[in-house]
Amino acid sequence: MPTYGCGAANLYPGYCANGDYDVYDYQSVNESKSLLGTQAQLNGKFSTAGIRHEFATGVSSSQRRDYFGDYVYEWAGTSNVFHPLITPQSDKTTGPVVLRRTDKEWSVFAQDIITLSDTVKLHLGLRHQHISRSQLDITGYDDSYLLPNIAVVIKPAGNWSIYGAYTEGLEHGGIAPKDTSNENVMLNPGKSEQFEAGVKAELSRDLAISAAVFRINKPLEYINASNTYVSNGDAVHTGLELSAQGKLSPQLSLGASLTAIDARQKNLADPLLEDKRVTNVPTLKSTVYLDYALQQVKGLHLNTTWQHAGSKAFSPDNKVSVPGYDILNFGARYVTRLSGISTTLRLNVDNALDKFYWRDVTQSSGGYLFPGAPRTYKLSAQFDY
Judge whether residue 4 has pLDDT over 80: no
What digits encode the pLDDT tens for the residues 351-360?
A: 999 999 999 9
pLDDT band at 365 (very low <50, low <70, confident <90, very high): low
What digits encode the pLDDT tens for the residues 19-61?
A: 999 998 888 889 999 999 999 999 999 999 889 999 999 999 9
DSSP readout, 71-140?
-EEEEEEEEESSS--PPPPPS------EEEEEEEEEEEEEEEEEE-SSSEEEEEEEEEEEEEEEETTEEE
**Cα–Cα distance between 123 and 22 in angstroms, integer?**
55
Across 117-124, average pLDDT: 95
Burial 11-35 (b: 16+ CB within 10 A, else e): eebebbeeebbbbbbebeeeeeeee
Average pLDDT over the chain reads: 92
DSSP readout, 221-267?
EEE-TTS-EEEEEEEEEEEEEEEEEEESSSSEEEEEEEEEEEEEEES
Taking the model in full, what pTM does it have?
A: 0.82
Domains of the chain in start order, with CATH, are: 173-385 (2.40.170.20)
Secondary structure (3-state) at 363: coil
Report which of 263, 267, 271, 244 is spatially closest to residue 255, judged by C-alpha positions: 244
What digits encode the pLDDT tens for the residues 50-90?
A: 899 999 999 999 999 999 888 888 888 999 988 888 888 88
116 φ, ψ to 5°? -80, -30
359 φ, ψ to 5°? -75, -45
Most confident of 12-16, 245-249, 255-259, 356-360: 255-259
How confident is the model at residue 116, as a pLDDT?
94
283 φ, ψ to 5°? -70, -30
Judge whether residue 341 has pLDDT over 80: yes
